[in-house]
Amino acid sequence: MTDLRQIIYTSAATDRMQPADLLSILGASRDNNAKAGVTGMLVFHAGSFLQVLEGPIEPVEATYARIHTDRRHTNLKLLFRGKILEREFGDWEMGFPDIDDLLKGIPGFRDYASELKDLTLTPQRARQTLKLFMAGDYRQRRSG
């Protein structure tokens, strides 16, 4: 059985991101990650990214290294890097920037959004935030 790695990080966008920019990132990420066996979730809000990557160690580390040198990211903060027994986010997903209206009914979400904007999430809060997106109807799931 292949050892699995999970990496969770936050970063700030260096430029203002438009929906078309996010869709472009999503499309390229889905293609690259599918080929490498990397899954996870990417959330973008108020100029900040929160992402979890998981899969075989080498492809996950290579993906994170590529992100680390991507000029669209700044203030990269590693929240968690470790071995996992099974994938928590087995399908590539993405949260969209207009999340405030969608999530007003989720208790405590404003706290998460504030932490994401300030890049102060703990690993536990990051996982909780990502799982809120995974459970919601507002996500985009990879087709096929």
pTM of the model: 0.72
Q: pLDDT digit string (tens) for 52-106?
A: 999 999 999 999 999 999 888 888 999 999 999 999 888 765 544 344 444 455 4
So what's the pLDDT on residue 93? 55
Three-state SS string over the chain comes to CCCEEEEEEEEEECCCCCHHHHHHHHHHHHHHHHHHCCEEEEEEECCEEEEEEEEEHHHHHHHHHHHHCCCCEEEEEEEEEEEECCCCCCCCEEECCCCHHHHCCCCCHHHHHHHHHHCCCCHHHHHHHHHHHHHCCCCEECCC
Q: How far apart are the first and last CA of the chain?
A: 25
Residue with tokens 């920019």: 21
Is the separation of the CB atoms in 109 and 103 below 8 Å?
Answer: yes
CATH topology of domain 4-141: Alpha-Beta Plaits (3.30.70)
So what's the pLDDT on residue 108? 44
Confidence of residue 22 (pLDDT cuts 50, 70, 90): confident
Helix axes 19-36, 57-68, angle to 10 degrees: 150
Of 25 and 76, the structure prediction assigns the larger pLDDT to: 76
So what's the pLDDT on residue 144? 40
> What integer is the mean pLDDT of 122-129?
75
12-21, 48-57, 84-93, 117-126, range with the lowest pLDDT: 117-126
The number of angstroms, rounded, from the C-alpha of 56 to the middle of its chain's C-alpha atoms is 17
